[in-house]
Structure 1
C-alpha cells in the first residue's frame, strides 16, 4: 500500500468506523469486545485489498457478516443466561423510556441464536432485501423469511413493547427493532 492509499484507508476508517462498530455490536449481540475484534478483522482484510476495492464499505460489511456467520457456525451450543425474574412478567406496568427499551432490546438480542440475530440485523438494521441476506448467509430466501419471523416473535415475547399492539397502548414505541436501534 503506497502513501496515498494508506491516507485514503485511514480516512475511510476514521469516517466509517462509528457506523461499522454499531453494526458489529448488533451482530455480536451487544458484546462490544467481540464487536471490536470483528471490525478489526474486517478492516485488516480490507487493508490487504485496499487498492483493488471498488466499494470499500460494502466489502467491509460483507466481511463483518461472513465472519459472524463463521463464529455462530462454530458455536453449536450456547449457554442460556438464567435470571431470577423473566423480563416479560405478566402484569408488569410499562414505565420504561426509549433508553430502557434499547437496553431491553439489546438483552433480548443476546438471547436469540446468532443466526436469528444476524438475520434481524441484516434485514432491519442494514435494510437488506431477503434475497441479499440469503446470498450473504448461504441459505434460501425461505429460510431467511422463516428465521426472521421466528426471531421477531421471540423478540416480541421478550420485549412486549415491540408487539404491534403496544403502539396503540404507548405511542412512544414503534414496532420495528430498527426504530429502537437507531
Structure 2
C-alpha cells in the first residue's frame, strides 16, 4: 500500500502534466467561458483527488475526463448558475485569449445542445474513440455515434462554408 505522501506526489505530478489539457476540454464543453472552465476543472480535480487512491494508473486520464464532463454537466444544471451571473470585476484567466480560429470553433460548438457538444468535443477535438467517449459520458457507444453524427450534421447545416465535412472527421480515431 502506498504512503499518503507518495499518493499526493503522484496526484501533483498528474495535475501538473494534465491540467492544461483538462482546462481546454472544459472550455470547449462550456462554450469557451474561461472562468467557468477553470471552475469545472477545479471541481473535477477535487473529485479526482478524493478518489485518487482508488483510481488505477492506467485509467487515470479517462477518469479525469469523466470528472470534467460530470462537473461541466453539473455546473450547467446548477440553479445558482442560472440565477446568479453578476460580476463586479472580470475574472483573471489562466489561459491565453482565444484566437480567431478558437472563437470560430467556440461559436460553432455553442450552437449545439450540451450532449451533442460533449460528444463532438470528445470525439473530434480531443480525438477519443467511441468507447472512450461513451465511458466519459456514461452512455452507450450507439448514443455517442448518434450524438456525434447529429452534432456534425447540425454544424454542417448551420455553417456550410465554414465546416468542411472532412475537417473534424480527419481527427477521429477508430
Count of aligned pairs: 148
Instruction: Name the residue aligned to 1:175.
Output: 167
Residues 1:33 and 2:35 aligned together: yes
Deviation at 1:143, TM superposition (A): 2.8
Query: 1:58 and 1:136 mapped to 2: Cα distance?
Result: 7
Deviation at 1:103, TM superposition (A): 1.5
Deviation at 1:109, TM superposition (A): 0.9
Deviation at 1:115, TM superposition (A): 0.9
Query: 1:120 and 1:130 mapped to 2: Cα distance?
Result: 11
Residues 1:64 and 2:68 aligned together: yes
Deviation at 1:112, TM superposition (A): 1.3
Instruction: Name the residue aligned to 2:163.
Output: 162
Instruction: Name the residue aligned to 1:147.
Output: 147
Deviation at 1:135, TM superposition (A): 4.1
What 5-or-longer segments of structure 1 have no aligned partner?
A: 79-98, 165-173
CA contact (8 A) 1:109 1:117 kept: yes
- The alignment's TM-score, normalised by the length of structure 2, stands at 0.70
Cα displacement string for residues 41-92 of structure 1 (whole angstroms, at most 9, x for unaligned residues): 11111212223322333221111123334445669xx9xxxxxxxxxxxxxx
CA contact (8 A) 1:162 1:177 kept: no
Q: Which has the larger radius of gyration?
A: 1
Cα displacement string for residues 157-176 of structure 1 (whole angstroms, at most 9, x for unaligned residues): 23622224xxxxxxxxx722
CA contact (8 A) 1:130 1:144 kept: yes
Instruction: Name the residue aligned to 1:106.
Output: 106
**Secondary structure in 1 matching 2:47:** helix
**Two-structure CA RMSD over aligned residues (Å):** 2.8
Say if 1:66 and 1:178 are closer, same or farther in 2 by CA, change over 3 A. farther
CA contact (8 A) 1:24 1:64 kept: yes
CA contact (8 A) 1:161 1:175 kept: no
What 5-or-longer segments of structure 2 have no aligned partner?
A: 83-98
Instruction: Name the residue aligned to 1:53.
Output: 55
Query: 1:158 and 1:35 mapped to 2: Cα distance?
Result: 25
Say if 1:33 and 1:7 are closer, same or farther in 2 by CA, change over 3 A. same
